[in-house]
Amino acid sequence: MLPADAAAKARSTFDSGKTLPLAFRLERLRALLRAIERHEDALLGAMRQDLHKHPNEAFAELGLALSDLKHHLAHLADWAAPQRLPISKVLFPARAYVQHEPLGRVLIIGPWNYPALLVLHPLIGAVAAGNTVVVKPSELSPATSQAVEAVLRDAFGDDGHVSVVQGGVDVSTQLLAERWDHIFFTGSTQVGKVVMAAAAKHLTPVTLELGGKSPALIDDDVNLDVAAKRIAWSKTYNAGQTCVCVDYVLVHERHAAAFISKVKQAWLDFYGQDPKQSPDFSRIVTPRHAERLQRLMEGGTVAHGGQVDAAERYVAPTLLTDVKLDSPLMQEEIFGPLLPVIPVKSLDEAMAFVRARPKPLGLYVFTENDAHAERVFAQCPSGGAMQNDSIGQIATHSLPFGGVGDSGLGRYHGRHSFETFSNPKSVVRKPAFPDFFLRYAPLRRTPLALWRHIVG
């Protein structure tokens, strides 16, 4: 389907009013749930083809989407109900409430690193809120993009409620030229700026789920075995192609050598002597991205790993020391299994390092001292944060997920998804009588003291 045709069909379907009833939204969410379950094998196979994901790792995408779907189905009736609120004296007698209404036509542009989840997750909220949606999956994960299209066609048919447009940058450009009521983009900060500029032409609201360099701070008071294993996992889950994974480590200098040794051992335990042969280690999305990671290694000394086979899209889990802070390694989001390790003398030095850079999407502090963790969270802004682990802050419905500054704009997950794609309309319902004369001129009939009492 052409971008302009998809946009026009989405407008026509929304204007028909068919997506507004709660019963319709719930039925479509149930249909999506059933379609994901029917296409599970195809989706898992597609993610294996695109990113060499182990089925367990691939199912994590589907599991999070299914869990969010079930959460929406359980709570949508409550979220969508009018929320009665108190009124001020000046409005008496009246009643006031907030009614969430759909924004209209939504454009979702998905990424390649989690090509199923990061299309389905925002789509759930957009459908729950009563919108029509055009989805543009990533061209860099073609097998999964086709499998997702099959799921959505199965669930929604061809009535303009949810449409899929496949293609590359030219297609995204054409879609962004259309007028939308909300744009949801997941990807790099650089492309996020392009999306926001296009949206500004129509004053279209945006949600930008971006990335950045999410640091891990290792305190002097730390369980180093746990810290090393969890950071090693974070950096190689999906081959490090996760927006909230640990990008680099600031470790107390007393623990630096031991930390490096323990990360090496963890990777050996996870993937064996040759991770390239491991069925559990994912691949980089394209040869070009693998070559980029190889160039980033020039920003430090390889202390472990470093092997690259760009044609096979393989980059080994790699530790980097003697890091050059002005190199691309420390200026760009890595988005791969490279882990720069930077010794610091204190937690205060680590916090100053983080505050001197753009606000990260994730912030991780490994410490047994809760007061130290609280100080880091209070003094270092970030989209989300964890103590003694990473990535997991995205995996619960109750927490809003999103970035701040360069790492993103807006929040979603659970109820926050429904609210992102809704307009919280303020409604006041007031009877025709009584009609108090005090509001009308001539105002001299009302003493100022009485007016203060009414209005204040």
Question: Choosing from 61, 243, 245, 380, which is the catalytic residue?
Answer: 243
Question: How many separate domains does the chain show?
Answer: 2
Q: Are residues 228 and 86 both part of a single domain?
A: no
Does residue 165 fall inside a structural domain? yes
Same domain, 246 and 204: no
Q: What is the pLDDT of residue 416?
A: 97
Catalytic residue among 209, 245, 333, 380: 209
Tell me what pLDDT residue 100 has: 98
Residues with Cβ within 8 Å of 140's Cβ and at least 6 positions away in sequence, in order, are: 112, 285, 286
What is the pLDDT at residue 199?
98
Residue at 433 is within a domain: no
Strand order through the sheet with 362-366: 301-304, 318-321, 338-344, 248-252, 215-218, 362-366, 384-387
Kindly state whether residues 61 and 30 are assigned to the same domain: yes
Establish if 441 belongs to a structural domain: no
> For residue 136, is it within any domain?
yes
Whole-number pLDDT of residue 455: 82
Which residues in the chain land under pLDDT 50? none
Model pLDDT for residues 182-220, shown as the tens digit of each residue:
999 999 999 999 999 999 999 999 999 999 999 999 999
User: What pLDDT is stored for residue 165 in this prediction?
Assistant: 98
380 is catalytic: no
pLDDT in tens, 414-431: 999 999 999 999 999 999
Q: Are residues 117 and 177 in the same domain?
A: yes
CA–CA distance, 74 with 68 (Å, rounded to integer):
10
Predicted local distance difference test score (pLDDT) of residue 453: 81
- Residue 426 backbone class (left: φ over 0; alpha: ψ -120 to 50; beta: rest): beta
Instruction: Indicate which CATH number applies to the domain containing 78.
Output: 3.40.605.10
For residue 453, being part of any structural domain is answered with no
For residue 440, tell me if it sits in a domain.
no
User: 384 in a domain, yes or no?
Assistant: yes
Q: The domain spanning residue 221 has which CATH number? A: 3.40.309.10
Rounded Cα gap, residues 382 and 408, in angstroms: 10
At how many degrees (to 10) do helices 117-128 and 55-80 cross?
Answer: 10
On whether both 224 and 183 belong to a single domain, the answer is no
Tokens describing residue 94: 């009246």
Judgement on whether residues 206 and 220 belong to the same structural domain of the protein: no
Give Cα 97 to chain centroid, integer Å. 30
Query: Residue 319: which domain range?
Result: 215-394
The answer on 224 and 103 residing in a single domain is no
Residues 262 and 329 in one domain: yes
Q: Is residue 452 part of a domain?
A: no
Q: Which tens digit of pLDDT belongs to each residue from 330-386?
A: 999 999 999 999 999 999 999 999 999 999 999 999 999 999 999 999 999 999 999
Does the pTM exceed 0.85?
yes
- Any idea which residue has 């680590």 for tokens? 350
243 tagged catalytic: yes
Q: Are residues 222 and 367 in the same domain?
A: yes
For residue 312, give the amino acid letter.
E
Q: Say yes or no: 185 and 282 in one domain.
A: no
| pLDDT score, position 438 | 83
Co-location of 238 and 299 in the same domain: yes
152 lies in the same domain as 33? yes
